[in-house]
């Protein structure tokens, strides 16, 4: 990768991300806007790209990653609305104006351009986010076998996660706060019960000191904000010492609506320093909600979960050995406070966590270490924070056991948390790329072996322990606490802080907001969402002329399931035809179509750039792309036009070998045919590929478009699925080839192009190419086959069945043909042809479980009746 692109992309990514966050921070873009979420996600990804690139020298970056960086760089330039007519090298000269490091505030024109872009071009913004995801996946080496997603160590070393507050609190601060928070009867005569004013410690990072809230009562008034400065103050003549008991009472009674700064000095206690400032928020007392409630009621996005988990983990480390641990930190003891009605975000909850000061309470905390031979996790305090992070990641409270014995209770909770972790690891978080970092932090806490081994087990005999373990000395306990905190900081606090700061650009004192979950709609008994798989695609009457749109619905549903289950292996379809023209308007309108084309080869002219002067190959590709939008496309140009096909046998033979061997296609299809006498080695090529692939290759071919001719070649080959054409209702077209007598029944599918496809090609150089026939049917069948392969790959993840192994037979021509017959209802009017209609099948088999049974039933027959032939080397032909 050239250093110029590397440097510019780093600088540009950071600059644009910074401008997006600045727009959000200045309220120029608010959470209520539809573009807000996408913009924030793009910013997070750009910051991560900047961090990853910063941890790698340019010469380490592989060529394919470099190409993607180059592409993203051009995309980022487009956001800033460059002058019209800018292209080529001029584009990069224009980029230079924006790629210099920023000094001071973001340029107003950049921020304005970004706002305009995200508000007006939602689809393009989504594509930009996808490009960022693709680049991050490569930078993070997120492949199918090893997607550990290690955080760059160079990035962790730069993080400042705050100061250790345990020593500060233990040095008299907690006791002094407890004393001045105690109510003075002089100000509050009717004090009943707890003599302390309610006080809350803010767990979020602040710019200066510690944020503390105190209120007159738990039910009325507003919380008074104090800032406890942790750095020693040089006190001048003007400072106000607070009286010991009841030091807060006078301020609380006045309801001053200001933030007061305090400083603690040993021997003097707390003093008020500096001038009062405006409070960050006005928070009414008596309206707190626990973390458990927030997880249940509010919609936490990946960013919210990361920021909250990072704040909790950092605070836990800071106060790990302080009096703030007198009470256990759980989702029932961490609180959130809504703002005063009428605030800027009155319909949302500030995602700012607080912990109650345990004034006057005895020590009810979890022990740092519990030396019991029967414990599965000997560090209860670490286990507690692991469960907290697990709950935040899942967005729900984790169940607990109910045992009388403490050891049994701890072991039960540990077991439940470990099992629940599996759910967290399977969750996708809307495709959040670095979720593995979060998962690993939680998993680290739940494994007690990560935190210093306990003393050796005592020697035992049949009568019990021979030498009971010696109690730990005070010095040993202190050393153990220090070491556990160090490990927790390194493996939990730092990685989460990296996610929050580098990924979502968390800033001290910047509060984010979350909205309540939308209520579930009240569904009637006929509502499609009440169907067993939650997405009845064809609850209404199927419209035959919309067959292509209906197949697209099925494919979209399959792709959603694949993403949810993290099924990444693509399905590859090879098209042997007249080439591909990607200069048509549809490819400019939908850039993802170009991205689907993974490889091309021209066996006609040997040109490096793919072309299509006839249009037929382009039509075939468009049909496959519509039927199976998740498929990867391979294109082999074997003829200039249909008339040349009879003289292109050698090209066809080479194309089959190319697609089936180095191309690794799952499906190869041809929409043409020749006579068996003219096959010229095509059959040998099919057999060679099938033998080398162990039958794991599917061939489709057009049966032909002449009712006076027999089934053409290669459709009549034993390893090829012949495809006949039907109209939109499934009635055979009159132009079909004559069905061979040895076949009791043949397969057909939609051969009439829908109006949308006709309209698309009407304005191309090939307006007459889009005509009904077996070519369209063959392309549609290949697309349907690709969608079924993708669906079969995800079925085992949706439902565990002992016969799931037979689903692999769908990757063979015989297995695919058998399944397609199950997708084709019988028709009395034409018993010799079965029309494949996926929408009808999806409607009649309305959930994954039923369809799963059909797949297994069909493929079990193939497995039983047609054992696989042994895989062998390809013969040279």
Read off the pLDDT of residues 711-728 as tens digits, 9 standing for 90 and up. 788 999 999 999 999 999
pLDDT score of 793 more than 90: yes
Residue 799 token pair: 């439902």
Percent of the chain with pLDDT over 70: 79
Please report, for the chain, the start and end positions of each structural domain, with discontinuous segments joined by +. Answer: 3-139, 567-795
User: Of these residues, 204, 439, 550, 577, which one is catalytic?
Assistant: 577
Give the list of residues 6+ apart from residue 305 with CB closer than 8 angstroms, or none.
392, 393, 395, 429, 438
Which of 74-78, 282-286, 395-399, 835-839 has the highest mean predicted lDDT (pLDDT)? 835-839
Q: Identify whether 225 is preceded by a cis peptide bond (ω within 30 of 0).
A: no
pLDDT for 161 equals: 65
Q: What is the mean pLDDT of residues 368-381?
A: 88
Which of 473-487, 728-742, 806-820 has the highest mean predicted lDDT (pLDDT)? 806-820
pLDDT for 86 equals: 38
**Complete DSSP assignment for 658-720:** HHHTTT--SEEEES--B-GGG-TTHHHHHHHHHHHTTT--EEEEE--S-TTSB--BTTTSTTE
Q: What is the mean pLDDT of residues 230-244?
A: 59
pLDDT for 237 equals: 47
Annotated active-site residue 775? The verdict is yes
Annotated active-site residue 727? The verdict is no
pLDDT tens digit sequence for 661-704: 999 999 999 988 777 666 768 999 999 999 999 999 999 999 88
User: Of these residues, 377, 616, 717, 852, which one is catalytic?
Assistant: 616
pLDDT score of 182 more than 60: yes
pLDDT score of 550 more than 50: yes
Per DSSP, 644 falls in state: G
Of the pLDDT bands very low, low, confident and very high (cuts 50, 70, 90), residue 521 is very low
In the sheet that holds 289-290, the strands lie side by side as 240-241, 269-272, 260-265, 224-229, 210-214, 199-202, 354-356, 334-336, 289-290
On average, the pLDDT of the chain sits at 82
Q: What is the mean pLDDT of residues 858-866?
A: 89
pLDDT for 527 equals: 36
pLDDT score of 826 more than 50: yes
Q: What is the mean pLDDT of residues 8-33?
A: 84
Least confident range of 115-129, 171-185, 342-356: 342-356
Annotated active-site residue 377? The verdict is no
Cα-Cα-Cα-Cα dihedral of 201, 203, 206, 211, to 10°? -10
Per DSSP, the three-state class of 564 is helix
224-229/260-265 β-pairing: parallel
pLDDT score of 535 more than 50: no
pLDDT for 91 equals: 35
Of the pLDDT bands very low, low, confident and very high (cuts 50, 70, 90), residue 102 is very low
Least confident range of 126-140, 223-237, 259-273, 718-732: 223-237
pLDDT for 429 equals: 82
pLDDT for 526 equals: 37
Per DSSP, the three-state class of 113 is helix
E-only strand ranges, 821-864: 833-835
pLDDT for 44 equals: 85
Least confident range of 185-194, 276-285, 430-439, 637-646: 185-194
Least confident range of 52-66, 251-265, 379-393: 52-66
Q: Which fold has domain 567-795?
A: Rossmann fold (3.40.50)
pTM reported for the whole predicted model = 0.48
Task: Residue 537: count other Cβ atoms within 10 Å of its Cβ.
Answer: 18
Per DSSP, 371 falls in state: -
pLDDT tens digit sequence for 291-320: 999 999 998 988 899 999 999 999 999 999
More confident of the two residues 524 and 573? 573
| Alpha carbon separation from 613 to 534, 577, 586, 619 (Å, rounded) | 45, 11, 17, 12
pLDDT for 94 equals: 36
User: Of these residues, 648, 775, 848, 852, which one is catalytic?
Assistant: 775
pLDDT score of 143 more than 50: no
| Alpha carbon separation from 342 to 33, 161, 214, 278, 299 (Å, rounded) | 19, 34, 22, 17, 21
Of the pLDDT bands very low, low, confident and very high (cuts 50, 70, 90), residue 491 is very high
Residue 842 token pair: 């999806």
Q: What angle (nearest 5°) sits at the alpha carbon of residue 489, between those of residues 157 and 318?
A: 115
Residue among 702, 747, 752 nearest 544 (CA): 752
């Amino acid at each position: 990768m050239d250093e110029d692109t590397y440097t510019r992309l780093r600088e540009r990514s950071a600059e644009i991300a910074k401008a997006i966050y600045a727009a959000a921070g200045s309220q120029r873009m608010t959470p209520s806007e539809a573009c807000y979420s996408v913009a924030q996600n793009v910013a997070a990804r750009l910051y991560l790209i900047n961090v990853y690139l910063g941890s790698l020298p340019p010469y380490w970056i592989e060529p394919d990653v470099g190409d993607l960086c180059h592409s993203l760089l051009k995309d980022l330039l487009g956001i800033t609305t460059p002058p019209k007519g800018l292209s080529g090298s001029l584009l990069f000269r224009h980029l230079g104006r924006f790629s210099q490091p920023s000094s001071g505030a973001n340029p107003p024109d950049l921020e304005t351009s970004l706002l305009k872009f995200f508000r007006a071009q939602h689809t393009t913004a989504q594509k930009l986010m996808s490009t960022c995801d693709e680049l991050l996946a490569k930078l993070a080496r997120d492949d199918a076998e090893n997607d550990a997603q290690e955080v760059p160590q160079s990035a962790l070393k730069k993080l400042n996660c705050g100061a250790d507050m345990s020593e500060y609190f233990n040095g008299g601060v907690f006791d002094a706060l407890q004393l001045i928070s105690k109510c003075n009867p002089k100000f509050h005569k009717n004090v009943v019960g707890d003599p302390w004013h309610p006080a809350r410690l803010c767990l979020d990072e602040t710019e200066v000191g510690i944020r503390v809230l105190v209120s007159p009562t738990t039910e009325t008034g507003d919380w008074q904000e104090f800032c406890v400065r942790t750095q020693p103050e040089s006190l001048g003549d003007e400072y106000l010492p607070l009286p010991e008991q009841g030091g807060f009472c006078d301020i609380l009674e006045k309801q001053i609506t200001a933030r007061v700064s305090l400083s603690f000095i040993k021997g003097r206690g707390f003093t008020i320093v500096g001038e009062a400032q405006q409070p960050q928020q006005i928070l009414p007392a008596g309206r707190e909600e626990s973390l458990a409630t927030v997880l249940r009621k509010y919609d936490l996005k990946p960013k919210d979960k990361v920021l909250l988990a990072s704040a909790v983990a950092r605070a836990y480390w800071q106060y790990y050995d302080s009096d703030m641990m007198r009470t256990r930190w759980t989702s029932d003891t961490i609180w959130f406070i809504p703002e005063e009605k009428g605030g800027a975000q009155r319909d949302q909850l500030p995602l700012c966590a607080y912990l109650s000061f345990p004034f006057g309470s005895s020590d009810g905390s979890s022990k740092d270490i519990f030396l019991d031979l029967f414990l599965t996790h000997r560090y209860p305090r670490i286990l507690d924070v692991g469960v907290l992070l697990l709950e935040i990641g899942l967005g729900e409270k984790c169940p607990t056991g109910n045992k009388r014995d403490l050891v049994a209770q701890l072991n039960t909770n540990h077991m439940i948390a470990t099992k629940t972790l599996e759910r967290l690891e399977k969750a996708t978080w809307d495709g959040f790329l670095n979720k593995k970092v979060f998962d690993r932090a939680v998993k680290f806490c739940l494994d007690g072996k990560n935190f210093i081994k306990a003393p050796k087990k005592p020697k035992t005999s049949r009568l019990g322990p021979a030498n009971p373990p010696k109690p730990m000395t005070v010095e040993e306990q202190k050393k153990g606490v220090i070491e556990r905190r160090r490990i927790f900081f390194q493996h939990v606090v730092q990685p989460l802080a990296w996610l929050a700061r580098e990924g979502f650009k968390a800033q001290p004192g910047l509060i984010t907001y979350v909205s309540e979950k939308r209520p579930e709609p009240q569904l009637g008994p006929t509502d499609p969402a009440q169907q067993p798989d939650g997405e009845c695609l064809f609850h209404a009457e199927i419209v035959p002329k919309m067959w292509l749109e209906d197949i697209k619905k099925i494919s979209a549903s399959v792709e959603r399931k694949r993403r949810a289950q993290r099924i990444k292996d693509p399905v590859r379809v090879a098209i042997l035809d007249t080439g591909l023209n990607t200069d048509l308007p549809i490819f400019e309108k939908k850039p993802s179509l170009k991205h689907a084309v993974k490889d091309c080869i021209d066996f006609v002219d040997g040109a490096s750039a793919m072309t299509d002067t006839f249009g037929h190959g382009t039509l075939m590709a468009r049909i496959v792309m519509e039927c199976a939008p998740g498929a990867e496309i391979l294109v082999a140009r074997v003829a200039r036009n249909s008339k040349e096909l009879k003289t292109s046998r050698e090209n066809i033979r080479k194309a089959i070998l190319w697609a089936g061997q180095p191309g690794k296609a799952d499906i190869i299809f041809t929409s043409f045919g020749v006579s068996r006498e003219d096959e010229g080695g095509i059959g040998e090529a099919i057999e060679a590929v099938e033998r080398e692939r162990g039958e794991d290759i599917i061939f489709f071919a057009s049966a032909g478009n002449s009712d006076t001719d027999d089934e053409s070649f290669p459709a009549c080959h034993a390893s090829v699925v012949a495809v006949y054409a039907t109209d939109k209702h499934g009635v055979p077209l009159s132009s079909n080839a004559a069905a061979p007598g040895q076949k009791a029944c043949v397969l057909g599918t939609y051969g009439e192009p829908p109006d949308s496809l006709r309209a698309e090609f009407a304005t191309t150089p090939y307006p007459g190419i889009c005509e009904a026939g077996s070519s369209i049917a063959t392309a549609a069948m290949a697309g349907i086959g690709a969608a079924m392969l993708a669906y079969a790959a995800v079925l085992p993840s949706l439902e565990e069945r002992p016969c799931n192994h037979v689903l692999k037979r769908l990757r063979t021509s015989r297995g695919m043909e058998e399944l397609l017959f199950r997708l084709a209802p019988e028709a009395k009017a034409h018993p010799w042809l079965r029309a494949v209609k996926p929408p009808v099948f999806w409607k009649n088999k309305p959930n994954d479980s039923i369809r799963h049974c059909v797949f297994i039933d069909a493929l079990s027959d193939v497995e039983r009746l047609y054992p696989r032939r042994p895989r062998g080397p390809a013969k040279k032909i």
